[in-house]
Chains A and B, each alone.
Chain A
Amino acid sequence: MTEWYGMVPEFGQLALIFALLVAVLQVVVPLVGVQTRREWLMAYARPLATAQAMFLLISLFILAYCFVVDDFSVAYVASNSNTQLPVPYKISAVWGAHEGSLLLWVTLLGCWGMAVSVFSKSLPLDMVARVLAIMGLVCVGFILFTLHTSNPFTRNLPSIPPEGADLNPLLQDFGLIVHPPTLYMGYVGLSVAFSFALAALMGGRLDAAWARWSRPWTTAAWIFLTIGIALGSWWAYYELGWGGWWFWDPVENASLMPWLVATALLHSLAVTEKRGLFKSWTVLLAIFAFSLSLLGTFLVRSGVLTSVHAFASDPDRGVFILALLGICIGGSLLMYALKAPTVSSVGRYEWVSRESFLLLNNLLLLVAAFAILLGTLYPLIIDFAGLGKISVGASWFNTMFVPISVVLAVVIGPGSMARWKADEIKRLGSSTVAAMIAAVVIGIATPLLVNGEMNWKVLLGMGVSVWLIAATLVDVWKKARGKLNRIPQLGLSYQGMVLAHIGVAVTIIGVTMVANYSQEKAARMAPGDVVMLDNYRFEFVDAGHIEGPNFISDAARFRVYDGDKEIALLTPEKRRYNASGQIMTEAAIDVTLLRDVYVSMGEALDNGAWGMRLQVKPFMRWVWLGAIFMAIGGLLAMADKRYRARVTRSRSAQEAAA
């Protein structure tokens, strides 16, 4: 191991240490520059942010390299990879466990910093300096954490294992390649909104311009969060073999809470940008959103969820993150307390106005986030107090979350058509009569058409969705003054909003249908057996073996008939992974826009029979389709002229100066 290439992991660690040093400089130099009003010092913020991101990327690539070449002398590689593991999974194994996912987390944070340094040409230099210094500070904390408690480059010396322990089979999947990086991009991206808010507080620059700078960044992070959550749900749906797509698991809640607050933040930023109101509220939301990201990281990474006792007996990691969390939240709230009273919002608005609707939106989203927070932390608190082991059931989260979502869906439509400052209930009412009628009719018709039975939950879910879509379209029609060809002129920002709001309705339709009309049957089936479910006939044709690259599976073949027509040949599998001997269920799903047919294998019973789980899930895809609409809506809003116009203008100004 004296050759230079034997030292590759050390280079990775070295790059991480350099990144830490650069991050420290990134905090100190620009802030000194701001304090002493020396522009040349502030100007260091950008190159330092870039350098930091580069070092982090080098470090991450080196870890990936160690995985690809099976360097089992690195403890993290040895416990999360294996020579048989296909290369794409070796790379995704980088973020398959604690240490690597933290490295990914800080690397993405560095990349966001670099992105800010590149796309901030229109920003005043002191603002850039402050924003990047704050981001640098967050980076310092997390690189320290990684190096101190969770170093992914720690060696297994002197006895190098000949073979690795393998990546958890659950994670050997396309979903794991894309889900964590996307979600982390969202989590970490909220640090930009947070840094902008604190920088604006520090500099006393809480104005419309600040909101305009902050908005596209917040939207970007929100898009990643939206897609990340949807990917996670989709992955759990097909990979866990139960057909569930949301479990109110603490890890899921950890991602939903920042999303809810980030959504509130987006809307509050709109008010701050357009009307100069809600300034200190917006700042507070930015702080909350990022704090919840950190809290999520703490919950997932400290081991506190597995057991409070595990956390107490190996407190290193947990205490460190808790300290980071405390410093971050405490520090930012302290600054808020000191600086916010000097911020004044001028301007008035009436009870019925867009401002009021957006305020209501914010309240509802925050209450939802708070309820989820309470439900997530409650068992931990009870356990910590020694009062017993409890769990909060999914039903509780549903009773909390569903009514709030319904109210929210009801106010989105009128909210987005209401005028700033003041509007009239009468005007809003008369514009939405048609939408109201459509909502009631379709709401009542849907359950009757499905199975002839009235179902008030379906009525409500379909009703509010149709209401939302119809009211939104009415507004589009009015703004385009009844001419289709005027719609493209309405502005990307507005079109994005429309699309995102329709996305909300699409998701609600999906959730309503799948929650109320899913059919499921667990059956004992031998080859040749036939089971009817809904209108579908499931025929278990035969069972066989499939050999994969690093697993062997029992597979079953199913023919699915709709009436007499064969619609799908499905091959669910039960895999046994060679390295770990772990068993995994691989569901087989036939997908259309209107329903999913889902088959997964249970255990082998005697006489060649198997336990089989058969499901028909109407409108399943709509749940995620809505998220895609929301994300595209976000992209459109980000691409709006008014963010780009400033960049080009200032660029031409720079060119003129040069």
Chain B
Amino acid sequence: MKPQRKKRLTLILFLVAGVGIAVGLLMYSLSQNINLFITPTQMADGEAPVGRTIRAGGLVVVGSVERDSESLGAKFKVTDGNAEVTIVYDGILPDLFREGQGIVAMGQLNTDGVFVASEVLAKHDENYMPPEVQDALEKAHVDGKQSLEAARY
């Protein structure tokens, strides 16, 4: 083999091996780092993993928000129109957090079935509905157990 060609071949092998390892590592770590969205219905059915970081969300149930009078602690319920889940959060809630609004929270489900949030997200648009929440509402709605409007009010 000519030296030029040999060099090129080594380079290609080096490249292929490098890309292969990189993709493998990427995919592996990706599978370890994804945060699954779990609907309130799924939580009620016990499909949510306990103690793993997941995302939960739904519409904030009207009249469910309780504030601690000493700290920033807040407790509220979210619903997908079918099931409710209680979320506790200690921190500053986003500007658009309010009753009836769709929110997504990141955190872990504890053994009491309460979702302990480390982060609560609500987008800067009042008409915005997080796509996951929209999806959850539609699924619950299709199940026909309770109407969407009833969940809101």
Q: Which of A372-414 contact B (CB under 8 A)?
A: 374-375, 378-379, 382, 388-393, 395-396, 399-400
Give bound CA distance, A310 to B70, whole Å: 43
Nearest CB on B from A507, distance (A): 24
Q: Which of A370, A391, A574, A585 contacts B34 (CB 8 A)?
A: A391
0/1 per residue, B85-99, Cβ < 8 Å to A? 000001111011100
Q: Is the CB of A390 within 8 A of B92?
A: no
Q: Is A391 in contact with B30, judged by CB distance below 8 angstroms? A: no
Interface centre among B4, B7, B95, B126 (most CB of A within 10 A): B95
List of B residues within 8 angstroms of A392 by Cβ: 30, 33-35
| Contact yes or no, B22 A367, CB < 8 A | yes
* A606–B29 touching, CB < 8 Å: no
In the bound complex, do residue B34 and residue A390 qualify as a contact, i.e. CB atoms below 8 Å apart?
Answer: yes
Shortest Cβ distance from B27 into chain A, in angstroms?
Answer: 8
Cross-chain contact A584 with B95 (CB below 8 angstroms):
yes
Interface-centre pick from B18, B35, B69 (highest chain A CB count, 10 A): B35
Judge whether A395 and B33 touch: CB under 8 Å: yes
Provide the A587-605 mask, 1 if CB < 8 A to any CB of B, else 0: 0000000000000001101
Residues 149-189 of chain A, each 1 if its beta carbon lies under 8 Å from chain B, else 0: 00000000000000000001110000000000000000000
Q: How far is B95's CA from A574's CA once the two chains are assembled, in angstroms? A: 9
A438 contacts chain B at the CB level, 8 A cutoff? no
Report the minimum CB–CB distance from B70 to chain A (whole Å).
7
Contact of B26 with A400 in the complex, beta carbons under 8 Å: yes
Q: B72 to chain A: which residues have CB within 8 Å?
A: 522-524, 602, 605, 611
20 residue pairs bridging A and B, Cβ less than 8 Å apart: A168-B124, A169-B124, A307-B134, A307-B135, A310-B131, A348-B4, A367-B18, A374-B26, A374-B27, A390-B34, A391-B35, A392-B30, A392-B33, A393-B34, A393-B53, A522-B72, A522-B90, A524-B70, A585-B95, A606-B69
Distance in angstroms between the alpha carbons of A389 and B7 in the assembled complex: 46
Residues of A within 8 A of B76 (CB): none
Evaluate contact between A389 and B131: CB separation under 8 angstroms: yes
**Residues 120-152 of chain B: 1 if any A CB is under 8 Å from the residue's CB, otherwise 0?**
000011100001101100000000000000000
Which residues of B sit under 8 angstroms from A382, Cβ to Cβ? 34
Does A371 interact with chain B (Cβ within 8 Å)?
yes
Q: Does B36 contact A (CB under 8 A)?
A: yes
**Cβ contacts under 8 Å, A648 to chain B:** none
The 8 A CB mask of B54-66 against A (1 = contact, 0 = none) is: 0100000000000
Residues B55 and A391 in contact, CB atoms below 8 Å apart: yes
Chain B residues within an 8 Å CB radius of A375: 30
A641 contacts partner chain B, Cβ-Cβ < 8 Å: no
Map CB proximity to A onto B20-59 as digits: 1 under 8 Å, 0 otherwise: 0010001101100111110000000000000001010000
Interface residue ranges, A against B (CB under 8 Å): 168-170, 241, 306-307, 309-310, 348, 363, 367, 370-371, 374-375, 378-379, 382, 388-393, 395-396, 399-400, 522-524, 574, 580-585, 602-603, 605-606, 611-613
CA of A363 to CA of B11 in the docked complex: distance in angstroms?
A: 12
Within B90-123, the residues touching A (CB, 8 Å) are: 90-93, 95-97
Query: Which bracket fits the contact residues of B?
Result: 35 or more
A250 to chain B, nearest CB (A): 13
Q: Which residue of B lies closest to A350 (CB)?
A: B7
Give the docked Cα–Cα distance between A592 and B149 (Å).
52
Which residues on the B side are within 8 Å of A612 (C-beta)? Answer: 92
Q: Which residues of B contact A606 (CB under 8 A)?
A: 67, 69
Closest to B92 in A: A602
CB distance from B47 to the nearest CB of A (A): 11
Q: How far, in angstroms, from A609 to B37 measured CA to CA in the complex?
A: 34
How many Å from the CB of A366 to the closest CB on chain B?
Answer: 9
Which residues of A are found within 8 Å of B126, using beta-carbon distances? 580-582
Q: How far is the CB of B111 from chain A (nearest CB, A)?
A: 23
Q: How far is the CB of A310 from chain B (nearest CB, A)?
A: 7
The docked-state distance in angstroms from the alpha carbon of A348 to that of B97 is 63
Residue of A nearest to B55 (CB): A391
Within the complex, what minimum Cβ distance (angstroms) separates B5 from chain A? 12
Residue of A nearest to B67 (CB): A605
Residues of A close to B34: CB separation below 8 A: 378-379, 382, 390-393, 396
Set B26, B35, B69: member contacting A371, Cβ < 8 A:
B26
5 tightest A-B CB contacts, nearest first: A602-B92, A396-B33, A389-B37, A307-B131, A390-B34
A442 to B: closest C-beta gap in Å: 31
**Residue from A348, A584, A611 having most chain B Cβ neighbours under 10 A:** A611
- Rounded to whole Å, the gap between the CB of B9 and the closest CB of chain A is 14
Assess the A363–B131 pair: CB atoms within 8 A: no
State how many angstroms separate the Cβ of B53 from the closest Cβ of chain A. Answer: 8
Minimum C-beta distance from B39 to chain A (A):
9
- Contact A309 B135, CB 8 Å, known A391-B55, A584-B95, A613-B92: yes
How many angstroms between the C-alpha atoms of A382 and B124 in the bound complex? 26
Most buried by B among A382, A389, A583: A389
Shortest Cβ gap from A139 to chain B (Å): 32
A389 lies within 8 A of B124 (CB): no
Measured CB to CB, the closest approach of chain A to B152, in angstroms, equals 19
Task: Check A374 against B30 for contact (C-beta < 8 Å).
Answer: yes
Chain B nearest CB, measured from A519 CB (Å): 15
Contact B29 A400 (CB under 8 A): yes
Contact check, B55 vs A602: say whether CB atoms are below 8 A apart.
Answer: no
- Taking a contact as CB atoms under 8 Å apart, the answer to whether B30 and A522 are in contact is no
Q: Is the CB of A390 within 8 A of B35?
A: yes
Partner of A170, one of B67, B92, B124: B124
B70 and A390 contact, CB distance less than 8 A: no
The answer to whether B92 touches A363, judged by C-beta atoms less than 8 angstroms apart, is: no
Neighbouring B residues of A168 by C-beta, 8 Å: 124-125
Contact A390 B36 (CB under 8 A): yes
Kindly state the separation between the CA atoms of A583 and B26 in the bound complex, as whole angstroms: 40
CA A245 – CA B73 in complex, angstroms?
Answer: 26
When distances are taken between beta carbons in the complex, the residues of chain A under 8 Å from B33 are 392-393, 395-396, 399
B94 smallest CB distance to A (angstroms) = 9
Contact assessment for B69 and A306 in the assembled complex, using a CB-CB cutoff below 8 Å: no
B20 to chain A, nearest CB (A): 12
Q: Which B residues touch A602, using CB under 8 A?
A: 72, 92-93
Residues of B within 8 A of A363 (CB): 15, 18
Q: Which residues of A contact B97 (CB under 8 A)?
A: 603
Given contacts A363-B18, A375-B30, A582-B124, contact A522 B95 (CB under 8 A): no
Task: Please indicate the chain B residues that have their CB under 8 angstroms from the CB of A391 in the complex.
Answer: 34-35, 37, 55
Question: Nearest CB to that of A611 among chain B residues?
Answer: B92
Query: In the complex, which residue of chain B has the Cβ closest to the Cβ of A600?
Result: B92
Asked whether A306 and B91 contact (CB < 8 A) given A389-B37, A392-B33, the answer is no
**Is the pair B69, A603 in contact by a Cβ cutoff of 8 Å?**
no
